[in-house]
Structure 1
Amino acid sequence: MTKFVSLRTKILFGFTVTFTLFFSGISLWFYSFTTANVNKRLKENLKRVAVASAKQIDVEELMGLYQDGKPNLQGRSDDPRFQNQLRWLEERHEINPQVFLYSFVRDNSSQNYSDKEKKIVYLVDVWMNIDSSKSSYFLESSIATEYHMNTLTKGTVEFRDFYEDKWGKWITFYAPIRDKFGNIVGGIGADMEVEEIQEIQKEIKQQILISFGLSYPLLLGLIYGLSTLLTRRFKALQNYAQEVGEGNYNLDISLREKLSFSFFDDERIILAKVLEEMALKIQQREELLSGIFNQVGVGISVSTSDYKFKIVNSTLCHLLGYTEKELLTKTCFDITHPEDIESSWQYVNEVLNSTIFPPLPLEKRCIDKNGKTKWFETAITVIKDNQQNLKYLITVNQNITRRKEMENKLIEAANTDFLTKLWNRAYFMGFLEKLLKKIEQNPDYVFALLLIDIDNFKTINDSLGHLVGDQFLINIANHLRKCVTEKDVVARLGGDEFAILLTTIETVEDSITVAQKIQNAINFPFYVYNQEFFTSASIGIVISNHLAGNNSYVTASDLFRDADIAMYQVKNKDKSNYQIFGREMYDNFIKKLKLENQLKRAIEEGKLTLFYQPIIDLKTGKLYSIESLVRWFHPELGFLSPSKFLPLAQESRLIVDLGNWVLKTACYQLHQWYQKKLLHPNITVNVNIAGKQFETGNLLTQIVDTLEKTKLSPTNLRIEVTETVIAQNTSQIANILQKIKDLGVNIAIDDFGTGYSSLARLRNFPVNQIKIDKAFVKPLNTHPKNIKFLQGIINLCHNLDLEVVCEGIETEQQKQILIDLNCNYGQGYLYAKPMSVNDFEQWIMKM
């Protein structure tokens, strides 16, 4: 009896220790694996948000917050560009509440070069509206870490692991912001609090402990039952053997009745009876284990070496919608999604070849009985025979469909434009890279890139507000979707710029057909908030195999560069059209880029010059004013007219630096002439102001500083603004002009008649002079109607208390007609061409 008690105790103790160690090890492994997997996914998501945000951000608008080498903090909260940037960051924070985004640039305000390398400026921080005490927005300049500097100088995506600052403990990814030419102009920081990660780890640990606590008593009971059943049979067999060994065949009646054999049964029959009872007990244990097997919340299966199901639990049947009988006729690959079969085979091979640690579970898709796709996290264990050949495959499938749906929503949010619901730049570029790789595998494959810019959208957005502008873009997006097939990709790259990838074209004419469909769709009137709009689009087209020498493109940047060249060729002509990129365009672009760089150096090195043309009082013939006109004597190309380089300056924003230089130089020269007593103190100098100078926000400051440094009175300066400029953003420009006029500066509308504005509209602007374009002066002596038309304009200007200057006077007849029409002032070759400083001084002396 003691031996059986000892045996049961040993069995019970051995099973208990073994299962305790096993489940403890499994729990620790599962906790480590789960926390590591969660940490990995959190970091991948944080990195994905940082990189996607850096690609989607409006670069030009962001850089407008950083002027003259220092942050433009004054009035930033009222700056619409800042509000747009902040709203943009807040939208991404709503999608990922654990992630806090901010933008930064290198601090160029320091005089010390080494300091520049070590300092950054934070521009916009989503914490500003969440918790201003944690916002870096109020820091004008901060010490940069090596992570900041690597991002800003090398363009790498940097990860900063657990660190602590005065606002808390964080992990951070830094991603570079690049302009459309690929230059690094700033960075995006994406922060996540360490406390969030620790909370997730704590929750995982609690769930594992609860699961272990619930399952452990059940296991102990199972072990106790198993040990009792085993020892009971051994005890019965030993008692019987003892009786037979002692020659006692008078067995205990209860034992004989229990084992169901007679006194005359031999040992084989007795053993058969015992085994029969053991089989019954085994069946009972199997039923117990089967109950546990079928009640667990994961799908479990056992497959043979040919991967056919041998055993499946009810959970797996329920998840896939099959009966047990139906599943047992299939293999594990029959229910796998066709696109995941290859990865499933690879995973099985990895498990078979693993020696120490099995590979991490595989995430794959399965197809249920109704054809619906479900996601599973699959872990596999193999059982091999003595020859190490595969015998059984044990698979545990955790249903992760809901988690994957949430992940897909996050991925879709990261790849979708928030406003139009089209694909965003990040997704578009990724898809474009896939098409380029497809060309590597199949050189005959052809696709087309269409780059689309909506003409005059800025005017609509600035004059009618962002709500109207946003709805307008949504309507444009809906029209673009209807112009392409389901296999094509339509994206909003930012602002009013869209792009399309035509993936199934066969000829160039196919892309032209789509471009024409887009033009026809967009040229129809739009209705937004009961307002009717007419617009058009400029479309640049690039065919993937139309690189020089009929080669195919290999980089996305080259495709975008050439599509941009084609698109801007359309915009510089008549807009509302399309253009297919050709090699000659690229050559012209290179020449244009070279000239642009030379112009930039010429401005920086002061190699431009100003010419001056007099404006004459028509009645007295005396000098009234002087217009300053920029000229460039190119070292290789010789004299270049303004029409050759001013459009370049307008496109590249060099016009701002050029305009500031002209303002300072002209005012300084007028002051010099005053000191030489060459001019009457009432003579003014006219300086042309470009539209982009109004957009900088510091035009008023530039004028005040220039007048102070040159010691000129504001009344000695007249700024000229073209009619086209004031038509672009009526309210904003009118406000700035009013402030300039309040200083005492004179204001003139230049080239009147070329921008199709009405004089009634000009009443909204604080101007005191109209300069009528030479196109109205030249035909004066050809037809009486031309004289009457011009007379009407002059009379209406006088009724509005506006002085009138007519440009392009070349003949005495034109001069006399304008005097008879009561025109105040005139300008043209009849009096003098634009002259250098020396020539102008000689001209003055002859007056």
Structure 2
Amino acid sequence: MDGFEVLEKIKSTPKTANISVIMISALDDIQNVIKGIEMGADDFLPKPFNPILLNARLKAAVRKRRLVNIETNYYKDFDKDTDFAKLELFSGTLDNEMSNNLDTTFVVVYIRFSLFNFISQTLGPDLAREYIQHQGVRVAKTCKDPEITIGRLADDVIAISGTAKNLAYLVENIETLDKLYSPLNQTITLEKETFKGNLGIGISMTKGREKKPKSLIANAAFASQTALDNDIGIAFYDPELHQSNLNKFHLEPKLKEAIRNRELCLYYQPIVNTITSEIETFEALIRWIQPDGSFITPFKFIPLAEETGLIFDIDSFVIDETCNQISKWITKYGPDKEFSVGVNISAKHWVNPSLIKEVDSALRKYNIPSKYLKLEMTESAMVDDANAVKKIVSILKSMGIKIALDDFGTGYSSLGYLIEFPVDILKVDKVFVDDLHTENKRQKLMSHILSIANSLGMKSIVEGVEHVQQVEILKQFSCDQIQGYYFYKPMPPVEIEKIFN
């Protein structure tokens, strides 16, 4: 075989692949030199060769190979851009220290620079690399203690680990932590572009005896994300918040499946005439009954649905199912039976024109008059995008849908909203009802609220009524309707039909 074949064999065999190779050949044209170098030769000498020159080239090739090996081994453990420890070395060092110091408290400070990915995607990876190098220098200046380990755990993450004693100046309180946050939050100018902020610092601590370095790092990462999400810069790990997020993480796929399998259902709470106590209307309330018969409270899954966008699917289901139930009751009791059903609509849904189509579609699907349906909104819906909500409310009212303002008094409580928005019904929240029968101030406030509703031509519903004394007071204040456990709890349709006649 010729020299090129020999070179190929050497470089393709694991045991010999790292041997330095100098090719000596009479073929000294540039194409052959390039070919040899590209195939892995360290150098190329033409025949006849000078032994002294060959010896020098040989030594240089070996030295170069050693340096390459040293560099290769070094960057297995250390990041090329910052020279900080990579995740495996960072975690391993922390693991070793924790194992040898069981009663010592260890700390991980996790810094996520969310600007890194933005810079990389918009201005290119080279500029993002320069940005993280600048921030790395700032971190190194703050953490000069040789007992402290600094690591680059991800493209946009630099972390610090050490004992609580060594990091006391960083983690004793928020004021001392500012020694780290303030320098990192200062502007950086790269190619005439200025960058500032968008970083989250998370801190977690535990005893060495826990021997869980990866959990310590993960907890600090969670706290860092909390700091970013809440725009607070710095956050200490909160196990309760973490557990809550884990619960949501596990609950979300179950909720998706429940919506898909129609495990959600509606209960209806009767609302009565204040004077006669006769049922006049209902509120549809979502319930999640699992296959084993257990309930998952709306206080758990509705906030999750709001966060994940599943609330749109839930709202659509409630609108459709409510109209279905209304249709059944019209068939059962006849068209002369007077009643209506209120449906709570998410604040996010009130700014979406699809709400109009969904309501219109459900009314047509079940062939029911619009007078039977009420839609309820909270004050927060008005704040998100007042103009968009106004347009949607106006269109719904033109269709004959009644609009109720739910939980009045618990949100922004601006009386201006009552004037600006064409609301038909004012629902007074339970907070104004609690202790109504024992506190004179609450009675005066309730009287004024109901007077405002009456003067603006709105029907009033007071929620959360649980005592006969509260009922008597509301009668005196000319409240129109009452909703609460004193009269009825939310019930499935079959139970409603036992009392609704």
TM-score range, shorter chain: 0.5 to 0.7
The answer to whether the aligner puts 1:796 opposite 2:452 as a matched pair is yes
The answer to whether the aligner puts 1:771 opposite 2:436 as a matched pair is no
Contact 2:227 2:233 in 1 (8 A): no
The answer to whether the aligner puts 1:602 opposite 2:258 as a matched pair is yes
> What CA distance in whole angstroms lies between the structure 1 residues aligned with 2:208 and 2:347?
36
Aligned twin of 1:654: 310
> What CA distance in whole angstroms lies between the structure 2 residues aligned with 1:452 and 1:615?
53
- Over 3 Å counting, the alpha-carbon distance change for 1:788 and 1:842 in structure 2 is same
C-alpha deviation, 1:784, in angstroms? 1.5
- Over 3 Å counting, the alpha-carbon distance change for 1:440 and 1:753 in structure 2 is closer
Contact 1:747 1:769 in 2 (8 A): yes
Contact 2:408 2:428 in 1 (8 A): yes
Aligned twin of 2:235: 578
C-alpha deviation, 1:767, in angstroms? 1.6
2:110 to 421, 427, 449: 449
> What CA distance in whole angstroms lies between the structure 2 residues aligned with 1:485 and 1:701?
56
The answer to whether the aligner puts 1:626 opposite 2:296 as a matched pair is no
Aligned twin of 1:487: 139
Query: What are the within-5 Å matches in structure 2 for residues 144-543 of structure 1?
Result: 352=22, 356=33, 357=35, 359=37, 385-386=50-51, 389-390=54-55, 435-439=86-90, 442-443=93-94, 447-450=108-111, 486-487=138-139, 501-503=158-160, 507=164, 510-511=170-171, 513=173, 517=178, 541-543=202-204
CA RMSD of aligned residues (A): 4.6
The answer to whether the aligner puts 1:552 opposite 2:213 as a matched pair is yes
> What CA distance in whole angstroms lies between the structure 1 residues aligned with 2:409 and 2:113?
30
CA offsets 1:68-100 (integer angstroms, 9 cap, x no match): xxxxxxxxxxxxxxxxxxxxxxxxxxxxxxxxx
Aligned twin of 1:294: none
Aligned twin of 1:693: 349
* TM-score, normalising length: structure 2: 0.64
2:328 to 647, 672, 676: 672
- Over 3 Å counting, the alpha-carbon distance change for 1:578 and 1:682 in structure 2 is farther
Aligned twin of 2:465: 809
C-alpha deviation, 1:798, in angstroms? 2.5
> What CA distance in whole angstroms lies between the structure 2 residues aligned with 1:675 and 1:760?
41
C-alpha deviation, 1:500, in angstroms? 6.9
Aligned twin of 2:476: 820
Contact 2:112 2:224 in 1 (8 A): yes
Contact 2:460 2:481 in 1 (8 A): yes
Aligned twin of 2:119: none
- Over 3 Å counting, the alpha-carbon distance change for 1:637 and 1:437 in structure 2 is farther
C-alpha deviation, 1:539, in angstroms? 6.9
CA offsets 1:792-847 (integer angstroms, 9 cap, x no match): 222222233222211011222211211211222211112211111111000113xx
Aligned twin of 1:748: 404
CA offsets 1:632-671 (integer angstroms, 9 cap, x no match): 2234572333223222322322222111111111111011
- Over 3 Å counting, the alpha-carbon distance change for 1:837 and 1:500 in structure 2 is same
- Over 3 Å counting, the alpha-carbon distance change for 1:828 and 1:588 in structure 2 is closer
2:90 maps to amino acid: I
> What CA distance in whole angstroms lies between the structure 1 residues aligned with 2:137 and 2:356?
51
The answer to whether the aligner puts 1:683 opposite 2:339 as a matched pair is yes
CA offsets 1:5-41 (integer angstroms, 9 cap, x no match): xxxxxxxxxxxxxxxxxxxxxxxxxxxxxxxxxxxxx
Contact 2:350 2:381 in 1 (8 A): no
> What CA distance in whole angstroms lies between the structure 2 residues aligned with 1:703 and 1:834?
23
> What CA distance in whole angstroms lies between the structure 1 residues aligned with 2:200 and 2:219?
14
The answer to whether the aligner puts 1:757 opposite 2:413 as a matched pair is yes
2:212 maps to amino acid: N
C-alpha deviation, 1:678, in angstroms? 6.1
> What CA distance in whole angstroms lies between the structure 2 residues aligned with 1:580 and 1:662?
38
Aligned twin of 2:295: 639
C-alpha deviation, 1:580, in angstroms? 0.5
**Matched positions, count:** 389
* TM-score, normalising length: structure 1: 0.40
Counting aligned pairs with the same residue, the percent is: 26
> What CA distance in whole angstroms lies between the structure 2 residues aligned with 1:628 and 1:542?
44
SS at match of 2:333: coil
SS at match of 2:214: coil
- Over 3 Å counting, the alpha-carbon distance change for 1:753 and 1:359 in structure 2 is farther
- Over 3 Å counting, the alpha-carbon distance change for 1:813 and 1:691 in structure 2 is same
Aligned twin of 2:118: none
SS at match of 1:632: strand
CA offsets 1:713-734 (integer angstroms, 9 cap, x no match): 2222111112233333333333
> What CA distance in whole angstroms lies between the structure 2 residues aligned with 1:484 and 1:386?
48
> What CA distance in whole angstroms lies between the structure 2 residues aligned with 1:564 and 1:658?
32
SS at match of 1:762: helix
Aligned twin of 2:267: 611
> What CA distance in whole angstroms lies between the structure 2 residues aligned with 1:790 and 1:485?
61
CA offsets 1:359-380 (integer angstroms, 9 cap, x no match): 47xxxxxxxxxxxxxxxxxx99
CA offsets 1:35-83 (integer angstroms, 9 cap, x no match): xxxxxxxxxxxxxxxxxxxxxxxxxxxxxxxxxxxxxxxxxxxxxxxxx
SS at match of 1:691: coil
Bigger Rg, which one: 1
The answer to whether the aligner puts 1:562 opposite 2:222 as a matched pair is yes
SS at match of 2:138: coil
Bigger relative contact order, structure 1 or 2 (CA pairs below 8 A, ≥6 apart): 2
SS at match of 1:706: helix
Aligned twin of 1:39: none
